[in-house]
Structure formats: C-alpha cells, structure tokens
Structure 1
Amino acid sequence: MKSLIDIYKESPETSGLTDKQLKIFQAAITLFAQKGYKDTSTKEIAQKAGVSEGSLFKRFNNKEELLLSILKPLSRVILPEILNEFSEQTLKTGYPTLHDFIDVILRNRLDFFIENIDVLRIFIDEFIYDENIRKSIVAEIPYEYLKTINDAIDKLKSDGLIVDWNNVEIFRFIFSTIFGYLAQHYFLFRSPNWNKEEEISHLVDFLVKGLAPEKDVK
C-alpha cells in the first residue's frame, strides 16, 4: 500500500502542496491529534510549521477546510484501500484455518494503523463527535467496496471457516475489537509497557473463538 504522504500528494485537496504548505499540513495533523481539532488554533498550526498564519490561508480558506483535506482522502482512498486489501486477500488466499486468516489480516492492519496513528486519531475523534464532519466523510466512501467485503466474508462462510452470522455483525466484531485495542494503547492511555506480541496473540485467539463456526467451538 502507498504511504500516507504519497496518497495526500495525489488527492485533490492536497495535491501540489509547496514545501511550506506541506509543513502546515503536517503541523495540523500533529496538533489535531494531540489537542483535538476544536482546541487547536490556526495561529498554533502556523507557529508549529514555522510560517506566518497568512501562509496557511493561501491554500486553506479556514481551519475546517484544512481538517477536511486530512479526512476526505482517508475516507475516499485510504480506508477503502485497506478494506479492499482485506477483501482481496480473503478472496484470493486459501486459508486452511480461521486462525491463519485472522492472524494475517489483523497483524497487517495493526501495523498500518499504528504507523499512521495520528491521522487515525483525528478521524475517529471527528467521526464520533461532529455530525457535519461525519456526513461529509461518509459521502466520500466508495460504496462499491462494501460489496467486496461482503463477498470476502461469504467466501469464508462457504469454506466453513467462519460463523454464519450477518456480515455486518462479523465486520463490526472484527474492527471494534481492533479499535478497542488501539484505543487502549494509543488513544487513551498510551502505555509504553505491555507485552505487545503476547497481547496481539490473545487478540487473535479472542477473535477466532468468537467467530469460529459452532461445530469448532470447544
């Protein structure tokens, strides 16, 4: 998958950024993640970027436009690519067990989320608490990817690898568990001391036991 900065360079909202504007953009991501969008001023963003506040408004009309330039590519390109990779891997790969499937997918997604935790934190904060932002974000999601996810889960069901529940429930179960893990260690407490490998193994085991077909549950 492309790096976030490459994706932003190709997005309509942020393509062609000058070095100075890129510093503004990166400073906004850092401050929105640390302090929250509402508690960050454009003056603080300019100061962190080492530019004048006027430089910010040459590219972005206001703070909300700057926020949306961070979030819209995430909805339109980044998250869909994550979901598409998830689905394509599932459809093309013959996993012998549910454990193999969960282990590969979860570790791969966690690596990406952790690598881009600041942008993800902004996305979650604004998606949850701001209805207008949420509507704007949802409008950017390419809904053809949802069918691919359904097809991937249906394949797992037909192979007898996953419980025969509603696909939305299965998807929610997997990603709410992943985001719960991320929230504990990277959003809420940011605890530096825990056995990461052991906890990820427990996370995999938890999902496998929850999603295994009834005949496989001991």
Structure 2
Amino acid sequence: MADEMEQWLSSLLRLIDEDEKMTERQIRIIQAAVDTFAEKGYASTSTAEIAQKAGVAEGTIFRHYKTKKDLLLSIVTPMMSKLVAPFVLRDFLKVLDTEYRHFEDFLRAAMRNRLEFVKKNAPIVKIMLHEIPFHPELRDKFKEELIPQVAERLRRIVTHFQARGEIVEMPPFAVVRMSVSAVLGYILTRCFLFPEYDWNDEEEIERVVRFIMHGLTPKSGAD
C-alpha cells in the first residue's frame, strides 16, 4: 500500500509540475499535505501541521497558497483532470466492456474488481471520500471526468439484461443506483469502517449479488 501511495504521489507531482515549475519547498509542502490529508482529513488538518511535516515555516505555505483550500485544490485539480479518471477506472473499463451471460455475472466481476482496487489504494480513496462531497469544485470535476466514461456503458448493460427478462423494468439508472449502493456499502464497510474484521470476501460478494438479484428479479405470473 505504501508503494502504491508513493507511485501515485510521484505521478501527482509530475502533473502539477507540468503547469508550474515547483521549488523543492513546494514539493515538500505537497507531499506533507497529501500525507496529512490522507491520515486526518482536510478539515482536521492545520497548515501548521503541514508546515511542520514539510520542514518549512507556516508563512512559506501562504507565500505559495493563499488558503488551505487553495493548497487542497492545487493537489486535487490536476489529479482530477489527468490522473483520477484513469486511476479510478484502472482495469474497470475492461469489466464494463466484457460480455456476460447473466447480470449477476457482471455484478460479481464488477464487485471483485472494485474491491481489489480499494484494498490496494485505500489511502488515496480516503482523500477522495473525505473531500469530494464537501467541495463543489471537486465534486463537479469528479463528475465531469468519470461519469461520461461509465454512465453509458452501465445503461447498455442494464437495458441488455432488461430485454432478456433478468431485471425488472425501471429506469436503468435506478437499477444502477441501487446496485452501486449495495456494492459500495460492502466495500466501504469492509475497507474503512471495520477493516479489522475477519471478512470472507467471496461469501460476502455472493450475499450482495443475491440481495441485488432478489430485489431486481421480475415477479412471475403465479405471484
């Protein structure tokens, strides 16, 4: 996990440096901010803590960034536009573009893929989960970069299995919303709320899939 974080941070620093040549102090500030935001969250992190971790005076931060939020945006904006979409969608588009015999086969593949992704990249995902809901600029950028790549693929998958009679007739994105809620509910609980539990991922995946399919299977005429 530490190696993944280090690789991600190196990529992030390269992206930022493409637009503006950073000093050695700026690099230390960005590294310290990423580490501290991941550990404590944006709201609980002070610029004094970032300065101490970076080995600079607090005033140095404000010479480069007017506010703590400017510092956060300097980290996340290039990440959103150039790094997050390929990062978050790493290996997932293959799952979305694969043909499946049944909707539940797609659910299993998607859930395994995203669970492994979050387990490997938990510190980075933590920053996103902490900050995106509370910063409209970040939320808008997230939607702009990711939704176009995923939404139409998911709509096609759902309508395909609706046409085959495996899923009830309802708006495709309602199906997506309920399915995603169940899948993410397990992943977030597993990786962030109770990671210390002795989870059996394959058993839990089957439970989630059965839960989704039971709620989405059309009623027979005898019911």
Which residue of the other structure, out of 172, 175, 178, is the alignment partner of 1:173? 178
Q: Does 1:208 align with 2:213?
A: yes
Q: Distance in 1 between matches of 2:218 and 2:10?
A: 41
TM-score by length of 2: 0.70
Name the aligned partner's letter for residue 134 of structure 1: P
**Equivalent residue number for residue 3 of structure 2:** none
Q: Does 1:8 align with 2:12?
A: yes
Which residue of the other structure, out of 154, 157, 160, is the alignment partner of 2:162? 157
**Equivalent residue number for residue 137 of structure 1:** 139
1:53-64 equivalences under 5 Å are: 53=58, 56-57=61-62, 59-64=64-69
Q: 1:97 to 1:148 in 2, by over 3 A?
A: closer
Contact 2:12 2:83 in 1 (8 A): no
How far residue 37 of structure 1 moved from its aligned partner, in angstroms, is 1.1
How far residue 57 of structure 1 moved from its aligned partner, in angstroms, is 4.6
**Equivalent residue number for residue 106 of structure 1:** 111
Percent identical pairs in the alignment equals: 32
Q: 1:114 to 1:55 in 2, by over 3 A?
A: farther
Q: Distance in 1 between matches of 2:51 and 2:99?
A: 50
How far residue 105 of structure 1 moved from its aligned partner, in angstroms, is 1.1
* Bigger Rg, which one: 2
The runs of 5 or more residues in structure 2 that have no matched partner are 1-6
Q: Distance in 2 between matches of 1:50 and 1:164?
A: 59
Q: 1:135 to 1:55 in 2, by over 3 A?
A: closer
Q: Distance in 2 between matches of 1:127 and 1:86?
A: 21
Contact 1:36 1:122 in 2 (8 A): yes
TM-score by length of 1: 0.72
Give the number of aligned pairs: 210
Q: Does 1:24 align with 2:29?
A: yes
Q: Distance in 1 between matches of 2:50 and 2:130?
A: 18
Which string of whole-angstrom CA distances, capped at 9 and with x for unpartnered residues, describes residues 172-203 of structure 1?
A: 12222233223323333443433334323323
**Equivalent residue number for residue 204 of structure 2:** 199
The runs of 5 or more residues in structure 1 that have no matched partner are none
1:43-58 equivalences under 5 Å are: 43-53=48-58, 56-57=61-62
How far residue 204 of structure 1 moved from its aligned partner, in angstroms, is 3.2
